[in-house]
Amino acid sequence: MFRHTALRYAALGLLASAAVFQAFTADYFGLEILTEILILAMLVLALDMVAGFGGMVSLGHGALMGVGAYGYALLSTMGGLAPPVAMVGAVLVSGAAAWVIGAICARSHGIYFIMATLAFGQMAYSYVFEAPIFGGDDGLGGIVRPDLGAVGMDLNDSRTFVLFCLAALALVYAAAVVILQSGLGRSMTGVMHNEQRMRALGLTVWRVKADVFGLSGMIAGLSGVLAAQHILYISPGLLSWTVSGEALVVVILGGLGTLVGPLVGAAAFVVLKHEISALTTYWHLVVGVILIAVVMSRANGIFGWIEARSAQWGARRSADPLHISQTEEARSDA
Amino acid sequence: MAIDLGFWTLQALNALQLSMLLFLLSIGLTVIFGLMHFVNLAHGALYALGAYFAAWLAAYGGFWLAFLLAPVAVAGVGVLLYSGLIKRMRKSGPMAQVLVTFGLIFALLDLTRIFWGDLPQVLDAPAMLDGRLAFFGIEYPTYRVFIIVLGLVVLAALAFVLGRTQIGAMIRAGVDNDAMAACLGINVEKLFFVVFCVGCALAGLAGAVAAPLLSVTPEMGLQILIPTLIVIVIGGLGSLKGAIAGSLIYGVVQTFGAVLAPQLASVLIYALLAAVLVIKPTGLFPAKG
């Protein structure tokens, strides 16, 4: 189950203050990068919810993000709905899609689950790519941002839009924590550890998986809505499986199952991407090597490594002589 | 009616040709998985590497040299990958393996760009395979017939080796139950190494023969990866029969789907995959009972 430790609170505080500081001081380019980080952070939060706490490693979250983006674009332009209503609609649509996918894939485990979500993601991708209503490979333009003039905010200003995304991310983070600490979230973690036992306890396993997957899909959909509002243009590339793969890479770089880690990972990933792209065009090579190194090191990403280190340090500091002799004994046994 | 028949023969040949190409790729991947439960997402990247090696070698010694040496070169890369990375990842879970090989895709993608640049490479089919063959009242490019024949030859060779020789029996035993096979004195590690290299060589071969049909780009590995994964998941991970059945199903659905229902063609195969996963989560021909 997810718990907030002092370290996690500290990391959250640091990240939040850095983001707020950037939002008020950065220039246009900095604001663009920050928006990109916030949107990616929301997507990887959704992925960590199911992958880190439910063992459901999904390669379909990029597509769910795309469903949100296309849902918002279609509902607000062709559907003629007001942007806030279209936002809610898009989030509900992607949540429903995710629930169905989760329900169907609930029987699969491990590599089969990955493949099944990949299949659904690719299905959405190729459908959007071909269907004329979605603009095919030309994509869709003419997307508008919601009008918050009523509360004196102009979202077409990039600084205000960054704050809007930041507020959305904060809300989503809080929601994710509530979900994971609720009975539903705990049941899902139970299912991850021992599905048979949870079933014996009378739990309807597929419902739990589908419900959390649906909630996670809503978050992924919201990140897609924000991405559409950010770039004001969407293309099928959003749904490509490599987007899901990159999201998974970010979760791993940050620290699977820590919820805070993926946020760190998102920030590190986007900043690294821009820094390295400025130096060389072979940015994928660098990411590939870093990814391999992180996985081979067996640390749970950046944040997982920090947590393990601080736990070691804490244990050493609080260790009494008896404790030390015990660990020495254990070491000599090994 | 005769024209109709010719049309369907043509489509059937197209389907068969696609199936054979996918078979060359999926057989290696599926046996690697079946033997060691190792998911090698970089298999597509090896295929692209095969195409690049072939295009590069063909510039020096023509198509046939490339055809023979490209698989060997890719097998060499496989040896490096095995001793550098994969050996150490054997005991990790599927998640870590998926991620490491995903990282490999990224790295190999950019390495091919560094060595060969961004421009597509071209490899021409040899003169003797360049024409068209006329049979059953239709004309069909000789090179595509060559791919079909090559696929069938590899299929027959593999069926013979796996079904009739001792090493084949060892591989089947390993796929069936690797722990038990090890107990019976089979060196499963060594077996895996050999199978891994042969799988890489077949991926390289597929890349080399696909090169004259497509333009050789760094992304070709990514494009073929998803169809290959679909093939082995439909057929059943680790199953030899599954790789054959899966390739044929994919080839037929993709080719005839594009003819009969162009609107649905691209979605059809994924829908089929989803249906298989729901009804038989372990594929049509699971490796283990």
Contact yes or no for A257/A300 (Cβ under 8 A): yes
Contacts 24+ apart (CB under 8 A), A323-332: none
- Apex B194 CA angle, B205 and B221, nearest 5: 35
* The token pair that represents A305 in the structure block: 């490594």
Can you read off the two tokens belonging to residue A241?
Answer: 């499986």
Structural domain includes residue B286: no
Question: What's the structural domain count of chain B?
Answer: 1
CA distances in angstroms from B194 to A23, B32, B70, listed in the order given: 56, 10, 18
Report the pLDDT value the prediction gives residue B120, as an integer from 0 to 100. 78
Listed residue (A301, A296, A241, A239) closest to A269, CA to CA:
A301
Which segments of chain B have a pLDDT < 70?
1-3, 128-129, 287-289
A118 contacts B226? CB cut-off 8 A: yes
The residues pairing with B139 across neighbouring beta strands, listed in sequence order, are B134
Task: Using CB atoms, pick whichever of B39, B89, B106 lies closest to residue A284.
Answer: B106
Residue B140's φ and ψ, nearest 5 degrees, are: -140, 140
ipTM: 0.79
Q: Which residue has the tokens 């936002």?
A: A87
Which token pair is B135?
A: 């049979």
In chain B, count H helices and then E strands. Answer: 11, 2
Cβ B287 vs Cβ B280: under 8 Å:
no
**Domain extent for B43:** 2-279
Model pLDDT, residue B76: 92
pTM: 0.84
Instruction: Work out the pLDDT band at A319, boundaries 50, 70, 90.
Output: low
Is residue B228 domain-resident?
A: yes
* A285 to B98: CB separation less than 8 angstroms, yes or no: no
Q: pLDDT at position A62, please?
A: 92
Quick: pLDDT tens for A208-217.
999 999 999 9
pLDDT range class, residue A93, cuts 50, 70, 90: very high
**Neighbour-count burial for B26-41, b at 16+ CB within 10 Å, e otherwise:** bbbbbbbbbbbbbbbb
The answer to whether the CB atoms of B110 and A285 lie below 8 A apart is yes
For chain B, give percent helix, strand, coil, nearest 5.
75, 5, 20
How far apart (Å, rounded) are the C-alpha atoms in residues A211 and A201?
18
Dist. CA B177–CA A222, nearest whole Å: 46
A245/B88 Cβ within 8 A: no
User: What's residue A333's pLDDT?
Assistant: 41
What distance in Å separates residue A57's CA from the closest CA in chain B?
A: 8
Lowest-pLDDT range of A62-76, A242-256, A317-331, B274-288: A317-331
Q: How far apart are CA A126 and CA A267, in angstroms?
A: 30
Distance CA B271, CA B266 (A): 9
Contact B74, B203 (CB under 8 A): yes
* Residue B176: inside a domain: yes
Enumerate the residues of chain A whose CB falls inside 8 A of the CB of residue B98.
Answer: 57, 111, 114
Q: Give me the pLDDT at residue A325, please.
A: 44
What does the mean pLDDT of chain B come to?
83
Closest CA to A62 of A213, A227, A242: A242
Helices within chain A (DSSP H only): 6-25, 28-54, 61-77, 83-105, 110-130, 158-181, 183-193, 195-200, 205-231, 241-254, 260-279, 283-297, 301-318, 321-333
DSSP state of B138: E
Residue A68 has pLDDT above 90, yes or no: yes
Distance CA B71, CA B249 (A): 26
Contact B81, B42 (CB under 8 A): yes
At A319 the three-state DSSP class reads coil
B114 interaction partners in chain A (CB closer than 8 Å): 282, 285
- Of A172, A183, A169, A186, give the one whose Cα is nearest residue A2: A186
Contacts with A, B 16-45, CB within 8 Å: 39
pLDDT of residue B4: 75
Q: Is position B53 within any domain?
A: yes
What residue has token string 């290299």? B197
Nearest-10 crossing angle of helices A83-105, B265-279: 50
pLDDT value at residue A331:
43
**Nearest CB neighbour to B106, from listed A126, A248, A285:** A285
Q: Classify burial at A32, counting beta carbons within 10 Å of its beta carbon; exposed 0-12, middle 13-18, buried 19 or more.
A: middle
The predicted-structure confidence for A218-230, as pLDDT tens digits, reads as follows 999 999 999 999 9
Any chain A CB within 8 A of the CB of B110? yes
Q: Which of A112, A126, A283 sits opposite B281 (nearest CB)?
A: A112
Q: Contacts of residue A246 in chain B, CB cutoff 8 Å?
A: none
CB contact under 8 A, B106 and A248: no
List of chain A residues whose C-beta atoms are within 8 Å of the C-beta of residue B106: 284-285, 287-288, 291
Burial grade of B215 (CB within 10 A; 0-12, 13-18, 19 or more): middle
Is residue B104 within 8 Å of residue B85, measured between CB atoms?
Answer: yes
For residue A320, what pLDDT is reported?
Answer: 54
- Supply the pLDDT for residue A328: 42
End-to-end CA distance of chain B: 46
Report residue A140: phi and psi, to 5°.
-125, 140
**Greater confidence, A153 or B254?**
B254
Q: Does the pLDDT of residue A329 top 50, yes or no?
A: no
Residue B287 lies in a domain: no
Name which of B99, B108, B274 is nearest A252 (Cβ-Cβ): B99
Q: How confident is the model at residue A330 (pLDDT cuts 50, 70, 90)?
A: very low
Cα separation, A41 vs A31, in Å, equals 15
In a domain, B127, yes or no: yes
Closest CA to A174 of A42, A75, A77: A42
Helix (H, G, I), strand (E, B) or coil at B216: strand
Q: DSSP strand E in chain B: where?
A: 132-135, 138-141
Task: Please report, for the domain that includes residue B211, its CATH number.
Answer: 1.10.3470
Nearest to A292 among B92, B94, B100 (CB): B100
What's the half-sphere exposure (Cβ side, CA atoms, 13 Å) at A30? Answer: 11
